[in-house]
C-alpha cells in the first residue's frame, strides 16, 4: 500500500499528493538548495586553508619564528584536523564544507598515505641501530644490554655523558670488539673500523648552548665519521647529534644551532668519497623540515623507504615526531623499525640494509 501525504497549495485550495519517493526527493532538493551550500562557509574556508598549508608548506617563510620549520615538524598531525572539520560540516549539514575537505584529504594522502603500510622486505646484509641514550638515563647498564641484545652489527650512541661512558664500554665490550668515541657520540661495531675522525657540527656552541672556546674542539664534539669494513666493501658511517630546538614566546621555534649543524653535516656528506654511506643520529628534526634539504638531497630515509608506519621516536612515552634518523646512500634499506623503550626519552631506531 502506498503511503501518501497531502499538502494544500496557496491557490485554489487544491491538494498536491506526493508519494513516499516524491517526499524523499523533495528532502534531497531542500538539502541541495543554495542555502545548503552557503551554510558552513567558515568550515569550508578552514578546510581549504588546511589543504593549502599542507600543500604549500615549503613556501611558508622561516623569517618569523621559523614558522615554516615548525609547520613541517608537525606536518603529519595536521591530518587530525580533517575529521574535526568533517564532523562540523556534517553537524551543520554544509555541502560546501564537506566538498572543501577533498583538498586536505588528497594532499595529506599524497604526502603521507604511502607511509602508512609496511614497506619492509626480507633479507639484508647488515643491521644498524642508533640511539640517543640520554644523559639522564637512570639505567645505562640496562640500556646497553638491551641494545646489545638487538642483534645490531653496528651500534651508534648519542648523548654519551662522560660519567657513564665506562658503563657502556664495559657492557658492550663482549658483543662489539671495535668501538670509537668522539666527544658525546660513539660507534660500536662487530666489524673493524678505520679512518675515524670527528665531524665538527658545533661551530660556535657547546652541548648546552654555551659558547665553545676557540681552542677547544673535541670536548664539544657531537658527530663522527668512520669506515666499517664489511664483506661487501667499505661502508662510511656517520654518527651525529645535532643541536636542540626549543619553542619560546620571544624567539618562536628556535633552531639556530640545529640548522648550522645540519648545514655542516650536509657539507661533510657532500665531500664524502665513499659511495656507500649510512648516517645515524638524533638530528633533532624531521626529514620534512627544510633545514635538512642539504642532507636529504644526498641521502634517503630508511624509515620512509622500508619502515612500517611513520616511526615516531620522541618522546619515548608518547612519540609525536621522528627526530632519530637512519639515512643511507649506495645501499638498499630492506627494513626499518623502532626498538622498545629504554631508560632514555628517545626510542632506538634500527634498519637492515643490503647491497
CATH number of 188's domain: 3.60.10.10
What pLDDT, on a 0 to 100 scale, did the predictor assign at position 252? Answer: 86
Question: From CA 2, how far away is CA 333, in angstroms rounded?
Answer: 66
User: 30: Cβ–Cβ under 8 A, 6 or more apart, which residues?
Assistant: 36
What pLDDT, on a 0 to 100 scale, did the predictor assign at position 203? Answer: 52
Residue of 63, 79, 126 lying closest to 353 (CA atoms): 126
Is residue 100 domain-shared with residue 191, that is, in the same domain?
no
DSSP 341: P
User: 109: Cβ–Cβ under 8 A, 6 or more apart, which residues?
Assistant: none
Residue of 46, 51, 43, 32 lying closest to 91 (CA atoms): 43
Examine residue 13 and state whether it is found in any structural domain, yes or no: no
CB of 319 within 8 A of CB of 309? Answer: no
Is residue 105 domain-shared with residue 142, that is, in the same domain?
no
Q: Provide the Cα torsion 316, 319, 322, 327; round to 10°.
A: 50
Bridge partners of residue 46, in order along the sequence: none
Domain boundary among 115, 136, 156: 115
Q: At what angle do helices 81-92 and 41-55 cross, to 10 degrees?
A: 160
Is residue 194 domain-shared with residue 247, that is, in the same domain?
yes
Q: How far is CA 178 from the centre of its chain?
A: 31
Is residue 64 domain-shared with residue 144, that is, in the same domain?
no
What pLDDT, on a 0 to 100 scale, did the predictor assign at position 212? Answer: 43
What pLDDT, on a 0 to 100 scale, did the predictor assign at position 18? Answer: 46
Angle at 305 between CA 300 and CA 307, to 5 degrees: 125
Examine residue 327 and state whether it is found in any structural domain, yes or no: yes
Examine residue 224 and state whether it is found in any structural domain, yes or no: yes
What pLDDT, on a 0 to 100 scale, did the predictor assign at position 38? Answer: 79
Is residue 106 domain-shared with residue 192, that is, in the same domain?
no
User: Each residue of 69-81: pLDDT tens digit?
Assistant: 999 999 999 999 9
What pLDDT, on a 0 to 100 scale, did the predictor assign at position 250? Answer: 80
HEC per residue, 166-214: HHHHHHHCCCCCEEEEECCEEEEECCCEEEEEECCCCCCECCCCCECCC
Question: From CA 295, how far away is CA 265, in angstroms rounded?
Answer: 7
The reported pTM is 0.85
Question: From CA 278, how far away is CA 126, in angstroms rounded?
Answer: 11
Is residue 180 domain-shared with residue 271, that is, in the same domain?
yes
Question: From CA 226, how far away is CA 140, in angstroms rounded?
Answer: 24
Domain boundary among 82, 115, 148: 115
The three-class DSSP label of residue 329 is strand
What is the C-alpha radius of gyration for the chain, rounded to an integer number of angstroms? 27
Domain boundary among 96, 115, 134: 115
What pLDDT, on a 0 to 100 scale, did the predictor assign at position 135? Answer: 93
Which structural domain range is residue 37 located in?
32-115
343 backbone dihedrals φ, ψ, rounded to 5°: -80, 0
Please identify every stretch of the chain with a pLDDT value under 50, giving residue numbers as ranges. 1-18, 204-219
DSSP 321: B
CB of 206 within 8 A of CB of 257? Answer: no
Amino acid at each position: 500500500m502506498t503511503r501518501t501525504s497531502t499538502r494544500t497549495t496557496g491557490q485554489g485550495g487544491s491538494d498536491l499528493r506526493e508519494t513516499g519517493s516524491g517526499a524523499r526527493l523533495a528532502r534531497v532538493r531542500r538539502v541541495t538548495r543554495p542555502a545548503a551550500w552557503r551554510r558552513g562557509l567558515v568550515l569550508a574556508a578552514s578546510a581549504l586553508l588546511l589543504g593549502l598549508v599542507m600543500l604549500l608548506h615549503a613556501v611558508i617563510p622561516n623569517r618569523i619564528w621559523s614558522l615554516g620549520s615548525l609547520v613541517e615538524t608537525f606536518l603529519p598531525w595536521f591530518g587530525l584536523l580533517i575529521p574535526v572539520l568533517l564532523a562540523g560540516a556534517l553537524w551543520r549539514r554544509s555541502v560546501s564544507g564537506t566538498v572543501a575537505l577533498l583538498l586536505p584529504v588528497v594532499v595529506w594522502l599524497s604526502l603521507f598515505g604511502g607511509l602508512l603500510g609496511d614497506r619492509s622486505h626480507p633479507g639484508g646484509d647488515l643491521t644498524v641501530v642508533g640511539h640517543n641514550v640520554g644523559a639522564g638515563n637512570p639505567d645505562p647498564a640496562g640500556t646497553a644490554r638491551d641494545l646489545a641484545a638487538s642483534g645490531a652489527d653496528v651500534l651508534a650512541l648519542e648523548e654519551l655523558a662522560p660519567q657513564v661512558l665506562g658503563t657502556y664500554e664495559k657492557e658492550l665490550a663482549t658483543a662489539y670488539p671495535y668501538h670509537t668515541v668522539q666527544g658525546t657520540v660513539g660507534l660500536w661495531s662487530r666489524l673493524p673500523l678505520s679512518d675515524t675522525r670527528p665531524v665538527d657540527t658545533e661551530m660556535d656552541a657547546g652541548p648546552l648552548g654555551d659558547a665553545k672556546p676557540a681552542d677547544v674542539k673535541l670536548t664539544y664534539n657531537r658527530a663522527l665519521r668512520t669506515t666499517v669494513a664489511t664483506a661487501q666493501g667499505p661502508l662510511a658511517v656517520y654518527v651525529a647529534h645535532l643541536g636542540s630546538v626549543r619553542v619560546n614566546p620571544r624567539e618562536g621555534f628556535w633552531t639556530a644551532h640545529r640548522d648550522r649543524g645540519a648545514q655542516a653535516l650536509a657539507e661533510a656528506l657532500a665531500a664524502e668519497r665513499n659511495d656507500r654511506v649510512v648516517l645515524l643520529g638524533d638530528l633533532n628534526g624531521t626529514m620534512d623540515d627544510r633545514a635538512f634539504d642539504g642532507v636529504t638531497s644526498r641521502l634517503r630515509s630508511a624509515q620512509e623507504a622500508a619502515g612500517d608506519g611513520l616511526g615516531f621516536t620522541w618522546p619515548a612515552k608518547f612519540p609525536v615526531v621522528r627526530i632519530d634518523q637512519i639515512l643511507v646512500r649506495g645501499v638498499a634499506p630492506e627494513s626499518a623499525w623502532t626498538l622498545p623503550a629504554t631508560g632514555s626519552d628517545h626510542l632506538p631506531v634500527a634498519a637492515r640494509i643490503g647491497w
